Structure 1
Amino acid sequence: MVRRPIQINTEDYPEKILSYLEDAKLYDSSCSPFAKVIFIDKNEGFYLKTAEKGTLKREADMTGFFAAKGLSSEVVEYISLDRDYMLTRKISGEDCTYYRYTEQPEKLCDTLATLLRKLHGESFEGCPVPDHTAVYLDTVEKNYKNKCFDLSYLDSSLGKLNADEVYKYVFERKHLLKSDTLLHGDYCLPNILLDDFVFSGFIDVGNGGIGDRHVDLFWGAWTLNFNLKTDKYRNRFFDAYGKNLVDLEIIKLISAIECFG
């Protein structure tokens, strides 16, 4: 996880958070243009995430839900003023892009699959996002109308389609999606923390909820390809998860949906 030393003006932050920032070493740990993440090196460590007003509410709710199951970090504060502020405790270990993990790709692949299968077996009673699938498809509609898309996510087996053709593909098959599984929503190596290959916790669960397991399966296969620079672990990942639970046609559908993600 990248950490660059920074200095900030504490007057720009809510009073409830000041005691965590004062006399602490601060590091920029941001990896997205849409949110700023500061690592607060104080006591056991904290992460402070800030973004546009209202945009962290779902993440705060889902993080709290995961934390109650021992799957994520405690949300110390969630404050929505001119901007959103979410303060969480540091989770021990390193994320899965750490070289000690990527140097053992087979073990990493199997670990990701095993952890995902376990997550998908968790009860979702009380989940604050009860219909991820509806939200997921609403995003497709919105971004298609706004001509916001990235066709690089499309499964290569579908050939070269334009945005209209991809949208048509999604529209004709969206009924295949289920809402019967607790999802991470962004199941990628940087969002899974391990301590010597022992699970520590998930982060960045703001896209999670009750939805179709193939969303996480798609991202698990995608991240292994992206971060390890090879697609050779794709089938191994699906096999380790449970090949009988993986529908490759729905994986293709998810790839099309993610073009409008």
Structure 2
Amino acid sequence: MTTETTIEMPRAWESRLAGYHWKGQTIGCSTAAVFRLSARGRPALFAKTDPTDPHGELPDEAARLRWLSANGIACPVVLAETREAGRDWLLLSAIPGRDLASSPHLDPDRIVEIAADALRALHQLDVAACPFDRRLERSIALAHARVRAGLVDEDDFDDERLGRSAVDLFEELQEHRPHDEDLVVTHGDACLPNLIADDGRFAGFVDCARAGVADRHQDLALAAWSIRHNLGEAWVAPFLSRYGGAVDPGCLVFYRLLDEFF
């Protein structure tokens, strides 16, 4: 294979992917190594890989992608998954288009409309039918486990939290935990690089490993942060207005804090 990585593809995929060029991807919020695969006259694909680990997310992502697709949500198709040489692997179809953080041809007002409409549609799925739990009890327990395992990247905290420890931040997280949850089916990591548009229309979600039942502010907080980062503060209010309904500013702050642990 032709590749920009020293990671060797699974042996089981060698025949299927012969002739593909592998190009590492740097945009996005996923912790996995991600590669775009291209070959003349053949469909583009994506491969994702992570070291096999109890905290790894690729098996979770495969299950969630299958469920989301079965429930009418546009997302990559899982073509294959395997575990080899201490690594988990996913082979995925490519969604046509570009992510909303890399779409200079789209006006900011159209970007926030696409993001708001896509999340609102996702949030209308039946919570009772979703088998994936990302409620606070579960998410805070996962955050605590990551702190104990030393997996929280303290150098990647938001500017206002740089210099603080993960232990200190976890204490703050517990102190500010909301009393109630407005539960929907969430994406879990709804920053603009994880929403794809094609020809000015929403084309699908990517990086869905944290999808599941959670408070709607989980998605609104990360989407608003990403819009502020990519488009500017002035576009946050139009995004929230387009999404509709009441928004709790305190919950936006809390769920952005929660994301520091993942």
TM over 0.5: yes
- Partner of 1:51 in structure 2? 50
Note the 1:150-229 alignment, pairs <5 A: 151-152=157-158, 166-178=169-181, 180-228=183-231
Change (3 A) 1:49 1:99: same
Q: Take 1:237 and 1:255, find their aligned partners in 2: how far apart are those partners? A: 17
Residue 63 of structure 2 is aligned with which of 61, 64, 67?
61
Residue 24 of structure 2 is aligned with which of 25, 28, 45?
28
The reply to whether residue 249 of structure 1 matches residue 250 of structure 2 is: yes
Q: Give the letter aligned to residue 259 of structure 1.
A: E
Q: Which has the higher helix share?
A: 1
Residue 13 of structure 2 is aligned with which of 14, 17, 22?
17
Q: Take 2:187 and 2:22, find their aligned partners in 1: how far apart are those partners? A: 28
Q: Secondary structure at the match of 1:21?
A: coil
Residue 41 of structure 1 is aligned with which of 22, 38, 41?
38
Q: Secondary structure at the match of 1:176?
A: coil
Contact 1:46 1:89 in 2 (8 A): yes
Per-residue deviation, 1:247: 1.3
Q: Secondary structure at the match of 1:130?
A: coil
Per-residue deviation, 1:170: 2.6
Q: Which moved more, 1:187-196 or 1:164-173?
A: 164-173
Q: Take 2:60 and 2:33, find their aligned partners in 1: how far apart are those partners? A: 17
Note the 1:64-83 alignment, pairs <5 A: 64-68=66-70, 69-81=72-84, 82-83=86-87
Q: Secondary structure at the match of 2:105?
A: helix
Q: Take 1:33 and 1:62, find their aligned partners in 2: how far apart are those partners? A: 15
Residue 93 of structure 1 is aligned with which of 84, 89, 97?
97
Q: Secondary structure at the match of 1:22?
A: coil
Q: Take 2:126 and 2:30, find their aligned partners in 1: how far apart are those partners? A: 33
- What do residues 191-244 of structure 1 show as CA deviations (whole Å, max 9, x unaligned)? 11111221111100111111111010001101111112x2111111111111x3
- Partner of 1:107 in structure 2? 110
- What do residues 43-93 of structure 1 show as CA deviations (whole Å, max 9, x unaligned)? 221101111115211111111212222421110011123210100011111
Please give the TM-score of this superposition, normalised by the length of structure 1. Answer: 0.82
- Partner of 1:236 in structure 2? 238
Change (3 A) 1:19 1:8: farther
Q: Take 1:165 and 1:14, find their aligned partners in 2: how far apart are those partners? A: 40
Per-residue deviation, 1:7: 5.2
Please give the TM-score of this superposition, normalised by the length of structure 2. Answer: 0.82
Change (3 A) 1:175 1:100: same
Q: Give the letter aligned to residue 245 of structure 1.
A: A
Change (3 A) 1:131 1:255: closer
Q: Which moved more, 1:212-221 or 1:175-184?
A: 175-184
- Show structure 2 runs of 5+ residues with no match: none
Change (3 A) 1:57 1:126: farther
Q: CA RMSD in A?
A: 2.9
